[in-house]
Amino acid sequence: MRMRIGLCLAGCLVMTMAAAAQVAVMGDEIVPAGPVTIAKEDPGWGLDYVGVPEQTGTTWYDYQHNGSMSRMVAYGSDGTVHVCWMKGLSSGQAADRQVYYNRKTAAGTWEYGTTGFQISTVAGSGYCTMDLTTTNEAVVAYHGPSPNNICYIWHSGTGPHALPASPTTNPVVWPHVAVDSRNWIHVVAQTNPVGTVYYTRSENGGTTWQPWVQVAALGTAASVSQTVTADPVSGKVAIGYTKPVTTSNTQADVYVVESLNGQTWNFASPTNITSFATGGHPMSSNSRAWDDVSLLYDNTGNLHAAYTTNQYPTPNNGGMIWHWSQATGHRKVTGTYTANAWTALNAPGAWRRAIDRPSLGQNAGGDLFIQWGQCTTPGDVSSATAAYGNWDVYATYSADNGQNWQCPVNVTATATPGAVPGQCLSENWANLAKKVSDKLHIHYIKDLDAGGIPQTEGTWTLNPVIYQGVPVDSLVVDLTATLTPIGGPIVIPAGGGSFNFNATLYNGSPVTQHFDVWIMVQLPSGTWYGPVLGPLNLTLPAGANITRERIQNIPGSAPAGTYVYRAYLGEYGWNVWDENSFTFSKSGVDATGGGDWSCSDWDDLKDGTVEEAQPQTAAMASVSPNPFNPTAMISYDLPEAADVKLTVYNVAGAEVAQLVNGRRDAGSHVVAFDGSHLASGVYLYKLQAGNLTFTEKMILLK
């Protein structure tokens, strides 16, 4: 919500430079007509939702990492943006690559234009990650070519530095870097091909280094999933990795080892945060960890992890993104192992799942963000015989420290089904800066022919390297559920009874949405009962608004007192994207009164689609801006003349303003609402036009 080509690490997890030079070119090389430049791309629902892609460089070498992405983009406290990438310098020459860097000033100018600046010092360098010092200097880690594969650090303040030579006969490669609050540089890397993770650090800007220390022996089935992060306030540092529990890297656990001071480590006793085999995960029966991990210390020093799982015991192309912290445990963010009408499990290529590679970030207000990649749009595959999926970049957020994750948003949405080499728009190898401002700072390769070229997937193309600042506000999806009781205050007699209500679902977002809807009842004791309706999996087109009248039965055996009747919209069992409720009461209890908790179901919606729920041609309204302070403009359209009533209520149901009450002609109408006399909070505006009713939320923020 995908089939990987399995390769064993000992054979060719990622080729050494000597082997990589022998990779055959798949088909003819492609150079796009004209300059390779991305100025702006409208994915079909407006640039305001996704920000503006900006080119920072190019590369013939589309591939960037095998497993964990760590970070190739950073946002500085001074408003600067830093990116790095592995650049293929020529077509068909896998060994002809270098590491490049670019920097966006606080004024908005890319210091090295649309090409970037070479920071590596030896030909064949690659697989880079980056972080910033406390003074916003860039620190980039990468490894050099065979036969030595020495790891390097480039420091924008002190220049390039070589790390210690490998402590084993197998080279230590694929370095991942983090800089702590003291500007100590921490690096984890892994041997090729044995699969042993090593750690080193520098306490003087990269000039000298501690000897490599073994973190973990992962076995020959291991993946390149090691990553490292540092607390921006304290001296804490954490290392994460996946470790197979069998001879397959598709069956792994996620491990974390933490140092409270960045000096003292207990690598012999890491924490297995998933523990699938012993039931330590919510989906232990059918899931195992895949080969990517992202770590983040939040603003209060708590450690968070995001990771991918695949189907167990028989993996397919499907994947799920998960969040973990000590406070929340494991919470599903998104994903599926099953294809359906709106989610394909397109071929992602070697060492990938069709939903994978999460990156964690946080803003100053404490909201958490996760970005990941998906190649799941049905039919959105390249024209090659292998038909690799074209990738999109998705993101979501949590306002409650990771307990609940909101509706995923496709921030690129550039479907190019059947595109020939040079015309694919496949946003791949995406990663997110750990600091989120008013934007998510995202970096990726716009692969013009899907598939990883060093894995002999697809055709060599000259690909733009893209930075995209995604406005945080674009992740707020207008998808709502509303319950409206019919009649006056609802009081159920002691012997039981029923009440009628309207349930309305509205998709105010510009794309079709797929979600679950269910209703729960809170008993007078405070416990929850249900669901009494659903869960139903529904599809609602953009702008669609559907209302159903339903009857809820209340048994006589139900206790006396006040009840809460609440509808939820989201992913059942995991995430709530919206909720709405009303109260009713029961006067007494009669155990002999009979009855049950049955609710007349949404029989016409059980197929999982809502074909008839096309966008309304009447009684549709919108508000702008939302949130507002203190004035908002409410717009509505009438296809024909009608009696119109437009009223604003507070969440308690009290009327606070009546804006329209009378006959209105067909056409578009705009009404101003002044909330200067009201307190900050959520309000409802209700439009009644003829026999149609529309209700929606708006937020006043003062």
One-letter amino acid at 378 equals: P
Domains and CATH numbers, the chain: 9-23+50-475 (2.120.10.70), 479-605 (2.60.40.3880), 620-700 (2.60.40.1930)
Q: What is the Cα–Cα distance from 383 to 421, expressed in whole angstroms?
A: 8
φ and ψ at residue 473, rounded to 5 degrees? -60, -25
Q: What is the pLDDT of residue 221?
A: 86
Residue in 612, 632, 603 with CA at minimum distance from that of residue 700: 632
Residue ranges for the chain with pLDDT beneath 70? 1-50, 593-594, 601-620, 651-652
Distance from the Cα of residue 474 to its chain's centroid: 13
Cα–Cα distance between 491 and 635 in angstroms, integer?
Answer: 37
Structure tokens at 465: 């390297």
**Is the distance from CB of 76 to CB of 136 less than 8 angstroms?**
yes
Residue-level pLDDT at 670: 75
pLDDT at 38: 41
pLDDT digits (tens, 9 = 90+) for 581-594: 999 999 999 877 66
- As beta bridge partners, residue 466 has 55, 444
Please calculate the CA angle 60-62-64 and round it to the nearest 5 degrees. Answer: 125
Closest by alpha carbon to 251, among 219, 278, 287? Answer: 287
Q: Which residues contact 129 (CB under 8 A, 6 or more apart)?
A: 69, 70, 71, 72, 84, 140, 141, 142, 175, 176, 177
Burial classification of residue 600, based on how many CB atoms lie within 10 Å of its CB (0-12 exposed, 13-18 middle, 19 or more buried): middle
Q: Are strands 575-586 and 491-492 parallel, antiparallel or unpaired?
A: parallel
Helix (H) or strand (E) holding 514: strand 513-522
pLDDT at position 7 is 25
pLDDT single digits (tens) 34-46:
444 443 333 332 3
pLDDT of residue 603: 63
| Rounded-to-integer distance, Cα 692 and Cα 676, Å | 30
pLDDT at 663: 84
User: Which residues contact residue 33 at a Cβ distance below 8 angstroms, ignoring those fewer than 6 apart?
Assistant: none
- 144: its two tokens: 């050099």
Smallest Cα–Cα separation from 362: which of 303, 411, 285? 303
In eight-state DSSP terms, residue 164 is P
Closest CA to 14 of 124, 164, 178: 124
**What is the Rg, in whole angstroms, of the alpha carbon atoms belonging to the chain?**
27
| CA–CA dist 386, 394 (Å, integer) | 24
